[in-house]
Amino acid sequence: MATTCLFFALVLATLISTSCIFCLSPDQSALLALKSYITDDPRQILAKNWTRGSDMCSWIGVSCDASQEHVTALNLSMMSFKGTIAPHIGNLSFLTSLDLKSNQISGSLPDVLFNMPALRVINLSDNALSDNLPVNMCSNHSRLKALYLSSNQLHGEIPASLYSCRELRYLALENNTFDGRLAKDIGNLTNLKHLYLDTNIIHGMIAGTFFSSPCLFHVSMFSTNYQFIITNKKFLSTGPVPSTLFNISSLETIDLSINKLSGVLSSDIQWNVPLLRYLNLQTNLLTGQIPAGLWGCKLLQVLSLRENNFTGSISKQIGNLTLLKILDLNTNNFTGVLPAEIGHLDLEQLFVPANKLTGEIPFEVFNISTLRMFAFDSNQFYGHLPASFGHWLPNLEKFSLNDNRLSGSIPVSLSNASKLTIVSMINNQFSGYIPNTLGSLRSLRRLYLGENNLTRESSSTELRFFYSLTNCRYLDTIEISLNQFHGALPAVVGNLSTSLQIISAFNSRIKGEIPIGIGNLSSLNVLTLDSNELTGIIPSTIGRLKYMERIYLEHNKLNGSVPNEICLLEKLGDLYLSDNQLWGSIPACLGELPYLTRLYLDSNKLTSNVPSTLWKRVDLIGLNLSTNYLSGYLPLEVGKLRAITEMDFSWNQFSGNIPATIGGAQSLNYLVLSHNKLEGPIPPSLGSLKGLEILDMSNNNLSGKIPKSLESLRYLRYFNISFNKLEGEIPTGGPFQNFTGQSYVQNDGLCGAPRLKVRLCPASATPESGSGNIAFLKYTLPLIVAAVLLVAVAFLIKRRRNQNIILTQEDSSPHAWRRFSYHELLQATNGFSESNLLGVGSLGSVYKGELLDGTVVAVKVFNMQFEGALKSFDAECEVLRNVRHRNLTKLISSCTNLDFKALILEWMPNGSLETWLHSEEYCLNFLQRLNIMIDVASALDYLHCRCSTPIIHCDLKPSNVLIDNYMIAHVCDFGIAKLLGEQEFLAQTKTLGTIGYMAPEYGMEGIVTARGDVYSYGILLLETFTRKRPTEEMFSGEMSLKDWVKESLSSSEVLDTKLRERNDKHLPSKKQCALSIFNLAMDCLRNSPVERIDMEDVLNRLHKIKTLFLDKCHMIDSEFNDYEV
């Protein structure tokens, strides 16, 4: 019996101990739950290590307390986990630190995470967390001290409950997409030391309480789009930075860069930031002078105020900042001289470009031995560089002095600054020769010395500085254009660095031959030696340059043939060999270069036929073979060059007919075939080249008539068919109204108007035949008219049905034509409060409103006390109900009763073109302005030509052009618009538009036509690119905006100063494009409505201008690598 009892006791003990193996503690259960939420464990860390049978305190990443019963820390950072965070983490009641950074954890954050009483540190940075932060954060007396959520995909507003984490010292939320405003309660975080909000979309007012933490010493809000906003009656305007920011004695770092901060840093601010080491306010809208209090921040090491609108001089007190390492005042409006006290600092970086500084650069600056880089570009500095330039700058790596008025020689001592990588002194007045000691700069990568008066050493006919540059083995760019060298390229050019990518030396009086060794420069992709005095042949070794993209050798004295080796350059896009003395045939293999887009071989001595392979290069944009001795026929394949814009075959010996297929070259705007032996008729297909501007077929043997189809060439501004054998009547429509007799000289068979100095055309019919025609028409004309009317009626009925169908489909939106009650609009606009008021016009007011479903709208309320308000309401309703276009304001609904009329319109968050043009807070770049004007032209073209009933806007001006969130323009305000009936082309009105924008016939006679809108558009076009209102005081006398632009076109000074900064590499392209735009505006502003172009023409020309502008910018971007100093 005793034995039996003992047996059962042993069995029972075994069972109890076995069952305890499978008893899990709450912490271990929570950890295993966390493991189950990890969907990808590429290193098998959890799979192999976190097992039920092992001690959890020995698991990777787990730390426990002394009793080995509770988890106190969890560190699973950088494990490449994928998955989500299990809500079971809340069961780890003793957890003080959670670190899951640098994984791929996704999903939302569990609420419980922020209400764990023991948790002090949460680091979930660099994951893929998304959604909003939990609403109830830190509501359970959280003792959280550090929260790191940077570099995730979190969004929404930062919940106010976060500010209940009173013990927070570190808060990092940067690199997410948080939006909304910071609540005032952030001031509750009185222990906060570090705050990182960079790269979010936070906006609104920063309250003074934000900076009330006595411990705060690092604030970073880089690129948060933050702006200080106060409410004004009509506009959202900017205000000053809260003075409390500079009264936090513990603050060490302030980074508010790349926002929309504005206003003045007041001189009354008490700068109580003795520990401040880093202040970055770059890329804002701040104005005024630098306050004197800033110079008292003795520990400051980094000061960046670049890209603001600061004015005044740079104070000598800057010398007080003895610890300053980086000073960046780039792109402001500072004036006066650069204080010598800067030279007493141990600066490492000094940037003052794009200001209005003048005087000599202080000698002391060149004694800052710690200086690594400086940039003084685009100022008005003058004088010489000191002879000891490089002696005291042993650490200098980059410097830029472009666009000043510096003179004298380049100091030989420059070569003592042995760490230099970039030397840039473009567009100054330096003279003398380039030092032949630059080879000491073994790290030199880029040498920019263009646009000076540099020459060669008098003791040599060669440019000897190239000998020294062969020692610069990292050199990738040499820019020495627009100088006066009067010397030859030495053979040692072939020994330059194999890293060399760009050689640019155009228009520099370079003589001699192109060195054979140039083929050794294996990385070269741009060779620009045009407009020099080069002789000899193009070396065949050029074929080794397998990365070559652009060759510019035009305007020299090169001879010999075009080497076949050029065809080995498979990346070649541009080949310019014009104006040389090249002979022989055009290599057939050029047509096989896959990227060739521009081929200019004009003004040489080339012979034979054009190779057939060339016509297969369908991507050609420019082809100029003029002034050679080429012969043969123009092939049918010429019509396949659909991308070509310029084609010049003049002054050759081409014969045969002009192929009818030429009409397929749809992009042509320049076609010159003059001085050949072409014969046969002018092909009517030329009329399909809608963008053609230049057409010259003079001095050939062409016969037949001038095709009437050419009347459709709206942009044609030069036409010459003189010295041919043409006959018949000269067309009178389209561009032919503008051509003179010079276009038709020596064509004896032509006839036309007396002004053309050709014979008069004979009468087209005799009286006898005329009477027969009259009898015939007497009986047939009524039948024809009746038939036409029947067809027209049937067409209109079908069109009206189609419109009804379209309207029914489009009006299926949630708000489509549901009448809103007055009470609903009252609620939406907060009782039509002033805080919601956007603007006031002559017939009413516009308010911002928010409908019950959250949709933000604009509510236009008509003032029924004004005469004409009802008529205006009806007109705008009529127009907006019946139009649909992406560039017209969309009408959502309306509200109307006996004494109240309102329209509910689509909300435009970016305001009006008026604000963007004439407010200092905003600035449109060149392309944005061009796109906006294309949008406006599209809207007017639709109203004039694409509506069943043409609509005339009658009041086009900047305030009636609204900008949406994507910077797309929408034309609005149709209160005085006119609808023309089917048979009408003009109407009369007593309602005035806006002075300065009205067409002359509109104000004097009340005549309304589509061409009146064209006139207003022309004024708008000028205002957009000059930023001058037509009503400014300078235009109050005889001088108008139109006259002012017209008189100053050649100087390009009328272009808005914000668009022509001196250091802008795209400035020449902008000026050229602006000239085309201003010429277009002049065509819109002809005094006679009949002479003005229509909006379809305007739109087509703008698209063409934009294409050419983008092409030129792309060429420049490809040719020149950007460099930063």
Tokens representing 531? 């407009």
Give the chain's radius of gyration (CA, Å): 38
Q: Which two tokens stand for residue 345?
A: 């600092």
Q: Identify the active-site residue in 955, 973, 1013, 1056.
A: 955
Place of tokens 């065509």: 1083
Rounded-to-integer distance, Cα 83 and Cα 106, Å: 6
Q: Are strands 71-75 and 62-64 parallel, antiparallel or unpaired?
A: antiparallel
Q: How many Cα neighbours within 13 Å face the side chain of 57?
A: 10
Strands in 781-890 per DSSP E: 837-840, 844-850, 856-862
DSSP state of 986: -
Q: Exposure string (b/e) for 56-75, b if CB count within 10 Å is 16 or more?
A: bbebebbebeeeeebbbbbb
SS3 label, residue 445: coil
Question: Residue 139: how many CB atoms within 10 A of its CB?
Answer: 14
844, two tokens: 């009413």
Cite the beta strand spans of 66-172 per DSSP E: 71-75, 82-83, 97-99, 104-107, 121-123, 128-131, 146-148, 153-157, 170-172
CA distances in angstroms from 745 to 547, 719, 740, 749, 758, listed in the order given: 50, 12, 10, 11, 8
**What's the rounded Cα separation, in Å, for the pair 674 and 649?**
7
Residue tagged 């708000």 (tokens): 815
CA dist., res. 925 & res. 1059, Å (int): 7
- Give strand pairing partners of 499: none
Q: In angstroms, rounded to a whole number, what is the distance separating the alpha carbons of residues 371 and 397?
A: 8
The candidate with the shortest Cα–Cα distance to 873, out of 757, 987, 975, is: 975
Q: Ramachandran region of residue 699, left (φ > 0), alpha (ψ -120 to 50) or beta?
A: left
3-state secondary structure 561-586: CCCHHHHHCCCCCEEECCCCEEEECC
Annotation marks residue 955 as catalytic? yes
Give the list of residues 6+ apart from residue 953 with CB closer than 8 angstroms, or none. Answer: 940, 943, 960, 971, 974, 977, 1013, 1016
Residue pair 704/679 in contact by the 8 Å Cβ criterion? no
Which two tokens mark 703?
């016969």
Is 934 in a helix, a strand, or coil? helix
Interatomic CA distance for residues 897 and 602, integer angstroms: 74
Tokens describing residue 836: 């919601």
Taking alpha carbons only, the member of 842, 843, 841, 822 closest to residue 832 is: 822
Could you tell me if 329 and 305 are in contact, meaning their C-beta atoms sit under 8 angstroms apart? Answer: yes
The number of beta carbons lying within 10 Å of the beta carbon of residue 899 is: 8
3-state helix, strand, coil in the chain (%, to 5): 30, 20, 45
178 has which bridge partners?
A: 156
Kindly tell me the burial class for residue 627, based on how many C-beta atoms sit within 10 Å of its own C-beta (0-12, 13-18, 19 or more).
Answer: buried
The neighbour count for residue 778, using CB atoms within 10 Å, is: 9
Q: What is the largest CA-CA distance in the chain?
A: 152
Among residues 768, 775, 726, the alpha carbon closest in space to that of 749 is found at: 726
Instruction: For residues 430 and 434, give the distance between their C-alpha atoms in angstroms, rounded to a whole number.
Output: 10
Pairing of strands 502-504, 526-528: parallel
Task: Name the residues annotated as catalytic.
Answer: 955
